[in-house]
Every structure is written in structure tokens, then in C-alpha cells.
Chain A
Amino acid sequence: MTHMRNLQRSVVLVPVAILALALFVGVSGCAPKEPAVTGETLSIVIDCEANRKDEAEAVASQLRNIGIQAEARTWEWSAMKAEFMEGNRQLYMTDWGSSYFDPFDLAIPKLATGERGNYSFYSNPEVDDLLSQATSATDDETRKALYFEVQDIIYKDCPWVFGYCLEETAAASTKVGGWRVSMDSRINLHDVTVEGTGTIKIGLGIDKIVTMDPGNYRDRDTETVIRNVFDALVTRTWDGEVIPEIAESWETPDPTTYVFKIREGIKFHNGEALDADDVVFTFERILQENGIGGQTSPRLGLLGPLASVVKNDDYTVTFTLENPFPVFPQALCHFQIVPKDYVTEVGDAGFAEKPVGAGPFMFKEGRLDDQVVLTRFEDYYGGAPDLPPVGPARIDTVVFRMMPDPATRVAALKAGEIHIADKLPPDMADSLSGDPNAKVESVPGTRTYGIEFCLTKPPFDDVKVRQALNHAIDWDTIIATIYGGKATRLSTAFIPSGFGYNHDLKPYEYDPAKAVELLREAGFNVSLPTE
């Protein structure tokens, strides 16, 4: 009988307890998403993706040190973005890469009013105006001065907690010669040699490349492979300077016109000669709506204000822009020339399946999520004359292997299965530093990492709070401990490898006392660290 009663009681109690628990979880889960400015205590949630969790925890702990209630929360990127774009979050860790070595594809998308990458909702008409002037100004000195002005303003406005620029790190076997890590993720295999073999194997840190069609991708990893099979009108030196490749030279008779002279005698892998028709065709299939396999090229936006491409004669082409766009030559480094006759003959799908380019290597076989094999093109015209060595590639076979796990890439390099291990996180690079058969190299990256504020809501609509947080975080320690020192601190959202970076503008100093002072002025109850 007692048993029965106990049972009955628990039958009632268990659902009640579950309901209470559910209510509790529900209420805490639905807590107001707005910054909780309770009393005078500043309470912050820092959102991040899993790869920056340690960093977010470190930041939270430094903020707690001055009496801010701070915690870190990990998200999946798209879910986090959907939330902060609704204005529902406070402080979120983001990053953004530049392909053009110019603020054009960094400062503008991140800071101009209403732009795609402007996650902080920053809006300053003065900055908008300066950026717009800088985009179309034709003289480098003027552009630089304009960008300097922008940096001064955003330094004071602090739309983000300005962070750092991570270095690009990769490793290679000591048998590999002529190899360098490139700032723009390019792996230039034309100049590379491997002691004792004609085959080089590269472990790429990705799941897959998207396509072998240079007109139909948007990511850098795909470009890494494609740029060994296809060449562009121009390319970059290791320092980021634009130099002729398939083009022999170019002129800009006025700021909206570019006339390119094409090198004669260049052949595609199928023997077809490369001339003005191929160049015009390459750009037209991107400019044209539904131009590739019935779909519009995802690369269209990268061409900026390009209005038309016209053939003047067999080896001269004129590009006309709607308005001045000084980074146009930089953009052209990313548009590889495709053979018109071949693409027309086999169709877009057929071309992606069996690509033919004018680059140093020919596509042999492969699967985009497994391995892609290239072989040397004997009739290669040699590449950019300003970027020696010039001539056919020095190795005869290239195998790109998709190896998404960094530990496996390092193991494969140690086991001698691959010669180059791309994209290594700092801890993995460290594990190779004692290996006599491997060399690790780093170059400054082109990606800025920071923490963006939601500027439309309190407390971060107050510039004092934003400046305070810039003083409150000890980035040097974070960079040294979490990123093995392989990062450069940034004074604003501009990066040192890009055009117009003001090296004299020093990053915010770590100064908890100053942070506390500013927060107190903003009306918050904070305290200096006790230690």
C-alpha cells in the first residue's frame, strides 16, 4: 500500500519536476537578448565560432578582471550570423579576408553604411564619403591620404574591438626547393623542385575544391589549384605588386579605360593559340547573365564596374569601366583566361570536367573532394617575365590531395607521403619545428580578426564603452599564448599587407586603468584588478 502511494506520488511529482525544469530552461533560454544593463554592472556575452573559443574565453576572463560580467558562447557561423544580423547579439568575433591587397574589399564591405560585411551596423557619413572618394581616386597618394583619414576616424569611433592579423603558415619537406608561402593563398608550383623525384604532392587543408572552371567559383582554395592550370592577364609578385603575365603590357589612357596588349605565341594545353577572342570570351561569360551552364557566374561582383570588353585586334583588348576603379589590375589577377573554341565545343559542364588552360600544368585526372592530378605542359610560354624562373615548370607531376585534418597533414608530411602541408594552425606548426626533414614558413596574412560591437543598442552605442573595451583586452598575451605569436596586432580594421595602411597609428594599448576610467564615465560599476 505504501509502495502504491509512493508510486502515485512519484507519478505526479516527476512530471511536475520535469515541467518546472523545462520552464526554468525555457525562461533562461528566452532571456532578453538585449544587453542586460542591470543596475550599473556591465554584463556581456561574447559570441564566437568553435575555432576561436579559447580566445573568447580569454577575453571574457580579462573583462571579468575589471568587474565586467562576461561570458563566451560558441556558435555555428550561419546561426550566429543570422542572430547578430537581426541585432540580437552584443559582441561577436568575426574575421574578413582581402584578396585585392586593398581596402576596397576590406574596409568598404566592413565599414561603409549598409554593406554586406558591416556586421556592427557602423554608419558614419564622413567615412562613407572618404571611402567612396578613395575607390574612384586615380592617384595613389590621394587614395592613401583618404584611407589614412578613414583610419583616424575609425580608430576613435571603435566600431570593433580591433584585433589582429593571423599569419599564413605552411610546411614543406626540406627536399622541396623554390617554395614560398604566399600571402594570397596561392601555391605557385611553377618554380618548385623536389629532390630525387619529378612528382610533388600537396596536402590541402580543405574538404574539396568547388570546380576546375575558372569562371564558376568564389573561394580561395579552388583558386589555389586553378592557378596552376590557368594563367591570367596579370599576376602578383611576392610583395603584392601587379605585373604582366599573359598580357605583355597595359595602358590606362583614362581612368575608366584599360588597354591590354596580349603576349603572342601563347598556347592552350590543346594546342589552340591564345588571342584576344579568348580574353573577351573569358570576361563575357562572367559578365553575361546566366552565362555559365545557364547560371550567372559567382565571380561577377569581383569585376566591380567593368562594363565591356572589346577586341581591338588579334592581340589587343580594351576594358571599359563605368567609373574609375583603381584596383582593377589587382582584380584581374584572379580572372584566368579560358579557351573560347574549346569551351564552346565541349560546353561548360564538359569544360569543368576536362579543363584546358594556358598555365604551367595540364589537368590529368581527379576528383574534387579526393585528389587532383596535373602534369607539366611542355609548350608553356614561361609565365611572367618579371617573376623568374621563366620557362616550363621544373617538376612533371603535381598531386593535390584534400586532407581536411591538420594532424593528418602533419603526419603525412612526416611520413614522406606529401611534400607540402598547407594551412597549419600554430600548435601543429610547432610540432614540426624540431623535425629535421621539414621546414615551416609563415607570411603576414590578409585576413583581419576582431570583435564587432552591435552599435545600434546600449551599451555599445556609447563610444566610451567601446574605447574602454579596446583598452581592456590584452591582445599581446592572447596572441603569444593562443596563436604562438604568429599574428600582428592591428590598430584598426586595415591590414599591414594592404594598400594605404598607416603604420604610424599604434594599436590601442592594454590599459585596464584607462578602461575602468572610461567605463565609470559611461556610468558603469567596474573595479580595477586586485592583483
Chain B
Amino acid sequence: MRGVKILERALAALPIMLGVCIVVFLFMRLLPGDPVDIMLGEASNVTQEEIDALRSQFNLDDPLHVQLASYLMRVLKGDLGYSISRSSNVGKLLLEALPATVELALAAILIALAVAVPLGIITAVKHKSLIDRSSMACSFLGISMPAFWLGIVLILIFSVHLKWLPTSGRATYGLVPSHVTGFYVLDSILTGNLPALKDSLRHLVLPSIALGAAPAAVITRIIRSSMLETLRKDYVTYARAKGVAEWAVIIKHAFRNALIPAVTVTGLEIGGLLGGNMVVETIFGWPGMGRLVVDGIFSRDYSLVQGAVMVYGLTFVTVNLIADILYTWLNPKLVVGEKV
């Protein structure tokens, strides 16, 4: 039964994806600016014929509905088009950038959870204590600090002054693991390349802290408030009255039930992170989706932006589906697809 529901949800994603595809296609064309004009930059000596030839080469001179139809047909065949600004296949560009972004997003969310879960629980259990107040102050800071500022400060402290970690990039030259999946950490494990593993992890630390700080703060607050609420519930008092050990009350009875709102927020945060963060990627010279897309928008690289937004759409739909499945695992009374 659950399998059928999941399949239904997955199928429901198809019209969403089609909608995303059409909306992005039209919105990109609403933007002022012409991709061919941008590509030619300051080229002098360009005749109108040359410009027209380039426009026709990229099918930009067809009526909009013809362009849209041919784009949808190509997408159905698995061809995301050609990127004008990078002279390359969009599919190839996305496949290159996606592992970098996903790797960074996962590292950031791991750091965020590693901080948020214990801190959320402790601050709720030790409500109004010094640790609670100082953690809440920190989480306030975490939410308010802009990523570009935090990124630069981290680089100045840990790279320039202490020289512990590299300033930027994904790997040091010579220590790039052989390509298997495109995820450097995974690839270095798969190829048994220890120095590369160490190097990739070192490169991951600062950008994932810069990226994970805000989600860590948000999730800490959510876990704390939802734990506070659960800890006051009758079944918790009952469990205590039964003589269950305090740690078991907190983890087994309170925490599991307090997790549902945290899963929702974490799912949304992961969805956002997987889109790539242009600011963090720019500061840390991280070759991911954020930079790719923002650059694509500035160059009016229609195919590139359309392809990337489709990936975003797919990511969000998948992450939401996973969150839904997690709810039913956390609370078997719920059914996949029902609102929590």
C-alpha cells in the first residue's frame, strides 16, 4: 500500500516538472537582453548577417511556441540543449557541477545536524539554564550572519592566520581522486586514495561550515521548541512515573516525537542547499551549481538555466518525497502524501 502511494507521489511530480519547464522557459525569455549579443561582447566588425546567422544557429529566431515545443521534445529525448556561454552540452555541465554542490550540501547539513540535534535536546532539557541562553544567542548569530561575511572570516582565521585549512577549491592539484562518481570524498574512498580523502575533507570544512551555520541555527531552534512541547506531554510524565531512565525518556519518548517538525525543516533546508549557494561557491571557488546558474542568468544562457532549474525542481520533489516517507516511519499513524 505504501509502495503504491509513493509511486503515486512520484508520478504526480511529472506535471510539476512540465510546469517548471514551461514557466522557466517563458520567464527566461521575458528577461531583457539577448544571448547572442552578450556572447559577442565587445566584438566590433560584426555585421547584422553574422548576428542573424548565430541567432538562427541557436534557434532563437523561431516563434516562441516553436522554440518551446522543440525544447520539450529534446528534453523528452534526454537532451537538455547547448550552452551558448560555455560552448558545451548542458547535460554535461550539470553532471559536472551537481556532484560538487551535492557533496557540499550534504557536508553542510551533516554539520548542521551534528550541532543542532544535541544542542536542541540539551537546551530543551536544560531549559532556561546558562547553556540554553548562550546556545540561543549563538543560534541568533548563526541566523543573522551573512554567509559571505562568515566565509571570509573563516578563511582569514583558519587559512591565512592559522594555516590549518585551504582557502578555497575542491582539491589540491595532484590530489584530485580518479573520477568515479564526481563526489571527491566518495571517489577517494572507492579508489582507496587516503591522501585524496584527507585533502577533499580539508577542502570541505570551511565552505560547509559557512553554508551550514544558518540551517544549524534554524534546526536547533525547531528541535528545542518541539522538544519543550513534547517534554510537557502526559505520556512523558507517565513514562517517568513508570520509572523509565531519564535518557530513555528523552531519546525514545520525547525526541522521536519531537522530530517531525525538524524533519520538515531539514528537508526544506536540504532542498535549498542542493540548489547550490552562489555566494559560498564564489567565495570558496567551489565549482558548483550556484555559480553555474547565476552566470547562466547573466549571460542569458537559456538552455543552461532551464536545465539547472529542472534539476532543482527534481531535487525538491525528491527531497519532499523522502521527508514524507520519513514522517510515516516516525509516526506510523500517518500515511504517505497526507499533510502532517
A218 — which chain B residues lie within 8 A by C-beta? 39-41, 43
The stretch that binds A, out of B9-17, B265-273, B280-288, is: B280-288
**Does B322 sit at the interface, judged by CB under 8 A?**
no
B298 proximal to A (CB < 8 A): yes
Question: Is the pair A79, B152 in contact by a Cβ cutoff of 8 Å?
Answer: no
Contact of A405 with B285 in the complex, beta carbons under 8 Å: yes
Residue of B nearest to A115 (CB): B44
A527 CB-CB contact with B under 8 Å: no
Say yes or no for A322: interface residue by CB 8 A criterion: no
B44 touches A417 (CB 8 A): no
Q: Is the CB of A370 within 8 A of B39?
A: no
Tell me the bound Cα distance from A209 to B16 in angstroms. 34
Which A residues between 22 and 79 are near B, CB-CB below 8 angstroms? 76-79
Pick from A295-303, A337-345, A381-389 the stretch touching chain B: A295-303
CB-CB < 8 A to A115: which residues of B? 44
Please judge, given known A-B contacts A78-B38, A81-B33, whether A302 and B285 are in contact too, CB under 8 Å.
no
Asked if B291 and A207 sit within 8 Å, CB to CB, the answer is: yes
In the complex the two chains form, is B156's CB within 8 Å of A371's CB? no
Query: By the criterion CB–CB under 8 Å, are B287 and A370 in contact?
Result: yes
The reply to whether A404 and B282 form a contact with Cβ atoms under 8 Å apart is: yes
Q: Considering only CB atoms, which chain A residue lies closest to B96 in the complex?
A: A367
Q: Which residues of B contact A368 (CB under 8 A)?
A: 86
State how many angstroms separate the Cβ of B166 from the closest Cβ of chain A: 6
Chain B residues, Cβ within 8 Å of A219: 41
Q: Is the CB of B166 within 8 A of A369?
A: no
Whether B317 is near chain A, meaning CB under 8 Å from some CB there, is: no
A82 in the interface, Cβ–Cβ < 8 Å?
A: yes
- Is B315 an interface residue when CB atoms closer than 8 A count as contact? no
Is A105 part of the binding interface, using a Cβ–Cβ cutoff of 8 Å? yes
Per the bound structure, the CA–CA distance linking A79 and B31 in Å amounts to 7
**Does A371 lie within 8 Å of B39, measured CB to CB?**
no
Chain B min CB distance to A292 (Å): 9
| Docked complex Cα distance between A115 and B228 (Å) | 69
**A116 and B57 alpha carbons, distance in the complex (Å):** 20
Chain B residues near A296 (CB-CB < 8 A) = 50, 53-54, 57
Q: Do A370 and B170 touch across chains, with their CB atoms under 8 A apart?
A: yes
* B residues near A352, Cβ cutoff 8 Å: 87
Write out the residue numbers on chain B whose beta carbons fall within 8 Å of the beta carbon of A83: 32
Residues of A within 8 A of B42 (CB): 96-97, 105, 109, 117
* Given A76-B298, A304-B45: A415 touches B53 (CB 8 Å cut-off): no
User: Is residue A227 within 8 Å, beta carbon to beta carbon, of the partner chain?
Assistant: no
Q: Which A-chain residue is minimally distant from B297 (CB atoms)? A: A76
* Complex interface: chain A residues within 8 A of B282 (CB): 207, 404-405
Q: Scan residues 16-58 of chain B and give those whose CB is less than 8 A from a CB of chain A.
A: 31-34, 37-47, 50, 53-54, 57
A315 CB, min distance to chain B CBs, angstroms: 30
- The answer to whether residues A411 and B155 also contact, given A211-B87, A218-B43, A301-B43 and a CB cut-off of 8 A, is yes
Residues in A whose Cβ lies below 8 Å from that of B176:
365
Q: In the complex, which residues of chain B have a beta carbon less than 8 angstroms from the beta carbon of A404?
A: 282, 285, 291
Question: On chain B, which size bracket covers the interface?
Answer: 35 or more
| A414: Cβ under 8 A from any B Cβ | yes
Q: Within A222-257, which residues are at the interface with B (CB < 8 Å)? A: none
Does A208 make an interface contact (CB < 8 A)? yes
A216 contacts the other chain (CB 8 A): yes
Residues B45 and A217 in contact, CB atoms below 8 Å apart: no
Interface digits, B249-292 against A, CB 8 Å rule (1 contact, 0 not)? 00000000000000000000000000000000011110100011
- On whether the beta carbons of B43 and A79 are closer than 8 Å, the reply is no
Across the interface, name the chain B residue whose C-beta is closest to A109: B44
Cross-interface CB contact of B50 among A108, A301, A369, A401, cutoff 8 Å: A301
| B299 (CB) vs chain A CBs: closest residue | A78
The minimal Cβ–Cβ distance linking B83 to chain A, given in whole angstroms, is 10
- Cα–Cα, bound, A96→B41 (Å): 10
Residues of B within 8 A of A401 (CB): 168-169, 285
Chain B 162-175: CB-based contact to A (< 8 A → 1; otherwise 0): 01001111100100
Which of these, B57, B168, B300, contacts A78 with CB under 8 Å?
A: B300
Query: For residue B47, which residues in chain A have a CB less than 8 angstroms away from its CB?
Result: 301
Q: Which of A105, A201, A415 contacts B159 (CB 8 A)?
A: A415
**Closest B-chain residue to A296, C-beta based?**
B53
Does the CB pair B160–A408 fall under 8 Å? no
Residues of chain A within 8 A (CB-CB) of B31 are: 78-79
Q: Is B103 an interface residue (CB 8 A)?
A: no
How far is the CB of B43 from the nearest CB of chain A, in Å? Answer: 5
B291: chain A residues at CB < 8 Å are 207, 369, 404
Among A365, A368, A411, the one with the most B-chain Cβ atoms within 10 Å of its Cβ is: A411
Residue A146 interfacial (CB < 8 Å): no
A373 on the B face (CB < 8 A)? yes
B contact residues around A207 at 8 Å (CB): 282, 291, 295
Q: Is the CB of A369 within 8 A of B45?
A: no
Task: Say whether, besides A78-B33, A370-B170, A208 and B44 are in contact (CB < 8 Å).
Answer: no
The residue in chain B whose Cβ has the minimal distance to the Cβ of A81 is B33
Least CB distance, A91 to chain B, in whole angstroms? 19
With A78-B300, A301-B46, A373-B173 as contacts: A402 and B40 at CB distance below 8 Å: no
Would A116 and B43 be within 8 Å (CB), given that A82-B32, A210-B86, A211-B87 are in contact? yes
Whether B85 is near chain A, meaning CB under 8 Å from some CB there, is yes
Q: Which of A85-105 contact B (CB under 8 A)?
A: 96-97, 104-105
B33 touches A79 (CB 8 A): yes
Contact B167 A408 (CB under 8 A): yes
Give every chain B residue within 8 A of A407 (Cβ-Cβ): 152, 155, 283
- Which residues of B are interface residues toward A (Cβ below 8 A)? 31-34, 37-47, 50, 53-54, 57, 85-88, 96-97, 152, 155-156, 159-160, 163, 166-170, 173, 176, 282-285, 287, 291-292, 295, 298, 300
Chain A interface (Cβ within 8 Å of chain B)?
A: 76-79, 81-83, 96-97, 104-105, 108-109, 115-117, 199, 201, 207-208, 210-211, 213, 216-219, 289-290, 295-296, 298, 300-302, 304, 352, 365, 367-371, 373, 397, 399, 401-405, 407-408, 411-412, 414-417
What are 11 A-B contacts defined by CB distance under 8 Å? Answer: A77-B298, A78-B38, A78-B300, A82-B34, A116-B43, A116-B44, A208-B86, A296-B53, A371-B173, A408-B283, A411-B155
